[in-house]
């Protein structure tokens, strides 16, 4: 295991931008699970290194349970924290950590959380206060 991650236990951890490279090999498999035709793990790495996105690691029992990335987006109505990617197994074991991310977003001046994802996320997130707001329609050119 990575010595940096050895000190992280049963919690959600924000990885400082200057330490992304130190944990990249440990999180890359999770990140690659979120690859799609618009955003690859290489793009995610570049966004993390530039500071545009933040890297989160959820640790349980000295193991990585999930990995996520976030960004800040500002709309006329205010600043939002957007979950860009999220990957892990056994979500029931770590889903409660989303509250920690929401608290961090509030402390950073966010008025809401945005999560773009597949339709199945609605079923998971609705019980914890998330509401369906829109549909993204896309036509490839």
Which residue segments constitute the domains of the chain, with CATH numbers given? 3-128 (3.40.630.30)
Residue 3: what pLDDT? 56
* Residue 124 burial (CB count, 10 A): 15
Is 73 within 8 Å of 114 (Cβ atoms)? yes
Q: How many residues does the chain have?
A: 141
Residue 4: what pLDDT? 57
Cα dist from 80 to 35, 72, 74, 88, 129, whole Å: 23, 6, 6, 23, 16
Closest CA to 94 of 124, 116, 118: 124
* Residue 72 burial (CB count, 10 A): 15
Residue 1: what pLDDT? 57
Confidence of residue 133 (pLDDT cuts 50, 70, 90): confident
Residue 12: what pLDDT? 94
Place of tokens 């999220």: 86
Residue 63: what pLDDT? 92
pLDDT tens, 5-58? 655 667 899 999 999 999 999 999 999 999 988 899 999 999 999 999 999 999
Q: What average pLDDT does the segment 126-133 reach?
A: 90
Token pair, residue 82, equals 């957007």
Residue 9: what pLDDT? 66
pLDDT tens, 85-110? 999 999 999 999 999 999 999 999 99
Residue 126: what pLDDT? 92
| Residue 99 to residue 104: CA distance in whole angstroms | 9
Place of tokens 């509401």: 131
Residue 6: what pLDDT? 59
């Amino acid at each position: 295991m990575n010595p940096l991650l050895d000190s992280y236990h049963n919690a959600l951890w924000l990885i400082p931008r200057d330490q992304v490279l130190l944990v990249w090999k440990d999180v890359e498999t999770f990140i690659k699970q979120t690859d799609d035709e618009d955003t690859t793990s290489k793009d995610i790495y570049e966004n993390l290194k530039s500071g545009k996105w933040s890297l989160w690691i959820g640790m349980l029992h000295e193991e990585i349970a999930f990995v996520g990335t976030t960004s800040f987006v500002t709309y006329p109505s205010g600043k939002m924290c957007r979950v860009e990617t999220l990957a892990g197994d056994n979500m029931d074991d770590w889903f409660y950590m989303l509250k920690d991310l929401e608290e961090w977003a509030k402390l950073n001046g966010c008025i809401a959380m945005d999560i773009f994802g597949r339709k199945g996320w609605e079923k998971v997130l609705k019980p914890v206060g998330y509401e369906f707001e829109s549909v993204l329609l896309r036509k490839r050119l």
